[in-house]
Chains A and B, each alone.
Chain A
Amino acid sequence: MKINILGTATTEFGELWKTSPRELARVAIQGALKDAGKRPKDIDALFVGNMLAGIFGNQANLGSLFCEELGVNVPASHVEAACASGGLALHNAINSLLAGRYNTVLVLGVEKMTDSSQDEVTAGLMAAGSDEERQAGVTFPGIYALMAQAYMSEYNVTEEELAAVSVKNHFHGSLNDKAQFRRIITVEDVMRSGKIADPLKLLDCSPISDGASAVVISTETSKNSKPVFITASEVATDTLSLHDRQSFTTLSSVVRASQAAYKKVGIKASGVDVAEIHDCFSIAEAIATEDLGFSKRGEGAKDIANGRMTIGKGKIITNPSGGLKACGHPVGATGIKQIVEITQHLRGEAGARQVRGAKIGLTHNVGGSGAIAVIHILQN
């Protein structure tokens, strides 16, 4: 059975103070349905990826909420896996099609973060960590900073080389009209930005964002002249706490999920043309490129600094959307936005940031500090 992507859409990401979560969801849902040539009555079920509505908005029961918005009464569920909520919602939606239960389903990723202050968001996101980590007063930038310390000392990598990840992603974001940040930055800008958790600085970190993205998937064939299929959807988990793991310079969940995905479609890492990577911090993309097999161990940051993953220069292009760093990171929406972005490249509709000749795309969505990884492979 083939999983067809019938339609995709995303809102602009950013500090969207005028827009409610419901309005964000409406724009994404209507856009995806229109792109799919479907109406709400054609949808058999709804899957919603969201992390923080219960914590910040005191709003649970999101499946029903957004069915109300859709004007339908179909089965609906809320899927939560921290920053991988969107990716896991899609995984569950795909499984429902593979089980033969539904034919056409809608997957929505949505998050409203900028209603809360920075210290509240920092605390709220720690719900994705462990009790020990919360007790220690560590933050997610802090946890990734610990990984960066380990990575830099193990592989002799500099802060400037890590900064190159943000520089690349801001360049890509400058080409994306949905991105939160569309300005080009330099390594010096990153180095001069304020420290958040040593060695990570403000411009090593993805922002606090609002946004929604949606995708219609189906067992039906797409009418699009360049149909896109999801050929692998793999998930793996690991300990909640970073300190409980053997290594701090690899996420075993990503290695296991990506290896399973490559095996499923019969390719090697080198077969991927374009990938959306979960670059919540610069160090995260450096490690991800190695865990996914795009770079050798210890060479991910250096490869990015050398332009090997930049549009127009590299062979495997990472984060053409600008990634979490420049496009923005409304946590529950991110995993779906990645699918929207890769679909545009495989259809040849990505405009100025089009990865030419892209045929195989990958999305890498991570929850916590690697406690869950969701990998999807998309193909023409």
Chain B
Amino acid sequence: MITTPVKLWRRQKNVAGLIGVTGQILHWTIIRVPAKTFMNEAPYPVVIVELSNKQRMIGQLVDWEEADLKRGRKVIAVLRRSFTADSESIITYAIKFKSL
């Protein structure tokens, strides 16, 4: 995945406004065989969330347990460390979700 500093910088503009927004899980899965950049994180759940403003997002569920993997579960958007391409690359941060 291309993670140049300028691409990450452009993306940051959209992130701040989403932190703390709540929503509910529409659908969930657990990624057990990930892409290369997420090799160290699997297994991890990915959820499609409908936010309180009706916007839909896809993101990882963090600090989770089995009981959180339910349709309708209330979640909050949090900023969390995401993948790092290699030890020399920028550490990326992304919006993820946490059960409320």
Contacts and interface: CB of A to CB of B under 8 A. Distances in A.
B60 A142 contact: no
Contacts of B34: 119, 122, 137, 139
Classify the secondary structure of A's interface with B: helix
B64 to A, nearest CB: 13
Interface of A: 117-120, 122-123, 126, 131-139, 141-142, 145-146, 149-150, 153, 194-199, 241-244, 248
Interface in B25-41: 26-39, 41
Contact of B41 (A137, A139, A243): A137
Contacts, number: 94
Contact of B58 (A138, A141, A145): A138
Contacts of B82: 135, 137
B71 interface: yes
Nearest to A144: B29
A165 B56 CA distance: 30
Interface residues of B, number: 29
Contacts of A243: 48, 56-58
B29 A119 contact: no
16 contacts: A119-B33, A119-B36, A120-B36, A134-B1, A135-B11, A137-B35, A137-B37, A137-B38, A138-B58, A139-B34, A146-B29, A146-B48, A150-B26, A150-B27, A195-B30, A197-B33
B58 A198 contact: no
B58 A242 contact: yes
Contacts of B57: 132, 243
Nearest to B95: A135
Given A137-B38, A137-B41, A150-B27, A241 B33 contact: no
Given A149-B29, A197-B30, A198-B29, A138 B46 contact: yes
A136 B32 contact: no
Contacts of B11: 131, 135
Interface of B: 1, 11, 26-39, 41, 44, 46, 48, 56-60, 71, 82-83, 94
A141 B1 contact: no
A245 to B, nearest CB: 9
Q: From B39, B46, B83, name the one whose CB has the most chain A CB atoms within 10 angstroms.
A: B46
Contacts of A122: 33-36
Contact of B94 (A120, A135, A145, A149): A135
Contacts of A150: 26-27
Contacts of A137: 31, 34-35, 37-38, 41, 44, 46, 60, 82-83
Given A136-B58, A153-B71, A145 B29 contact: yes
Nearest to B41: A137
Contacts of A139: 31, 33-35
A133 B58 contact: yes
A379 to B, nearest CB: 39
Contacts of A242: 48, 58
B7 to A, nearest CB: 9
A248 B27 contact: yes
A134 B82 CA distance: 11
Identify which of B33, B37, B39 gathers the most chain A CB atoms within 10 Å of its CB: B33
Given A126-B35, A134-B35, A149-B28, 14 more contacts: A119-B33, A119-B39, A122-B36, A135-B11, A137-B31, A137-B35, A137-B60, A146-B28, A146-B29, A146-B48, A194-B32, A195-B32, A197-B31, A248-B48
Contacts of B94: 135-136
Given A137-B60, A137-B82, A243-B56, A197 B35 contact: no
B84 to A, nearest CB: 12
A198 B30 contact: yes
Given A132-B58, A136-B46, A241-B58, A197 B32 contact: yes
Contacts of B33: 118-119, 122, 139, 141, 196-197
Nearest to A198: B30
